[in-house]
Structure 1
Amino acid sequence: MKKLKTIILMIFFTTISFGQSSMNTEKSQIKDLIIKSFDEIWSELNSKNIEKYYTKDFLLLENGEVWNNDSISNYLDNAVLKKPIPTRVNSFEFIEVKVLNGMAWVAYKNEAIFTVENKIIRKAHWIESATAILTENGWKLEMLHSTRAKNE
């Protein structure tokens, strides 16, 4: 009987440990999703990466404006035409990430530093939240809400 209890306890704790490890992996995937989407869409000004990171019905709510994939694509395609194109470097401070049943939400602080010829031309700070869903192609963002914060 003691052996049976020991085996049951070992299975129980292994299952709990695996569940926590899986949750941490998913949280890391959500953080990576945020970082890579900003780097590969907004820093590279690359509208072709929208479908890689955003769902087809993605919405960006930014300071009272509602953007979708088409409006984001138009913005990026026009931004590439303006010269010189600034270099954008993003940094993130994650506040909270929650994942449950193929859905996630994340809250974070976002800072971007824009430079031209190694000279800072602008710093921007936002506090943002996003939702993501697990698709057959991995995690994708379905909504992002962005509010400008004062420069620190």
Structure 2
Amino acid sequence: MKARNLLLVIGTAMLLSCQSEKKLDNPEVLEKVLISYFDGIKNKDLDKMNAVTSEDFVLFEDGKIWNNDSLYNFLNSLPPYSATFSLSPLKISIDDKIGNLYYINHMDMILNDTIEDNYDWIESATFKKVDGEWKIDFLHSTVKE
């Protein structure tokens, strides 16, 4: 009886030790996707924005619900501008299927080559894998006071 129990314990331990550990993606991948999205905003590049977001992407900002098309149309209604985004500090959580992060977004902007302004937002983003690639599926932005 003791030998049988010992074999059962050893067998169970061997099976558990043989299971492969789930490898998590590198959190920096999400940061790169997010930076690419803001590069799309900075350059008014709808294709780039769409490339890093899911088809059901939603942005909550300033009490409005946006998608890439509505944001792109808004950006095109602005006078000529240049913008620089700084994202910090990034807090990232990721597993093999979903990820999220939150951060402070600081933007320096120049409108019409003369008017300088800057903005700060508290933001969070969620990500999901679509066909093996990380995509932003939700972004929430609130003006920082």
Q: TM-score, normalised by structure 2?
A: 0.76
Structure 1 residue 118: Cα displacement: 6.8
| Aligned counterpart, 1:53 | 52
Structure 2 unpaired stretches of 5+: 1-16
CA–CA distance in structure 2, aligned partners of residues 70 and 144 of structure 1: 15
Paired amino acid for 1:90: F
1:77/1:115 CA distance change after superposition, 3 Å? closer
| Aligned counterpart, 1:31 | 31
1:24-54, CA deviations, whole angstroms, 9 ceiling, x for partnerless residues?
A: x2x0000111111101x21111222222011
Structure 1 residue 131: Cα displacement: 0.4
Q: Which of 102, 106, 117 is the matching residue for 1:107? A: 102
CA–CA distance in structure 2, aligned partners of residues 73 and 86 of structure 1: 14
Give yes or no for contact 2:46–2:69 (8 Å, CA) kept in 1: no
Answering whether residue 73 of structure 2 is matched by residue 78 of structure 1, we say no
SS of equivalent residue, structure 1 residue 45: coil
Number of paired residues? 127
Q: Which of 120, 125, 144 is the matching residue for 2:120? A: 125
**Which has more radius of gyration?**
2
| Aligned counterpart, 1:93 | 88
1:45-102, CA deviations, whole angstroms, 9 ceiling, x for partnerless residues?
A: 12222220111111000121111233123223333xx3xx121001010341111231
SS of equivalent residue, structure 2 residue 75: helix
Paired amino acid for 1:126: W
CA–CA distance in structure 2, aligned partners of residues 87 and 73 of structure 1: 15
SS of equivalent residue, structure 1 residue 32: helix
Give yes or no for contact 2:41–2:49 (8 Å, CA) kept in 1: no
Q: Which stretches of structure 1, 4 residues or more, deviate above 4 A after TM superposition? A: 116-120
SS of equivalent residue, structure 2 residue 73: helix
CA–CA distance in structure 2, aligned partners of residues 126 and 148 of structure 1: 4
1:75/1:116 CA distance change after superposition, 3 Å? closer
Q: Greater helix percent: which structure? A: 1
CA–CA distance in structure 2, aligned partners of residues 38 and 123 of structure 1: 15
Paired amino acid for 1:93: S
Paired amino acid for 1:129: S
Percent sequence identity is: 24
CA–CA distance in structure 2, aligned partners of residues 91 and 69 of structure 1: 21
Q: TM-score, normalised by structure 1?
A: 0.73
Root-mean-square deviation (Å): 2.4
Deviation larger for 99-108 or 115-124: 115-124
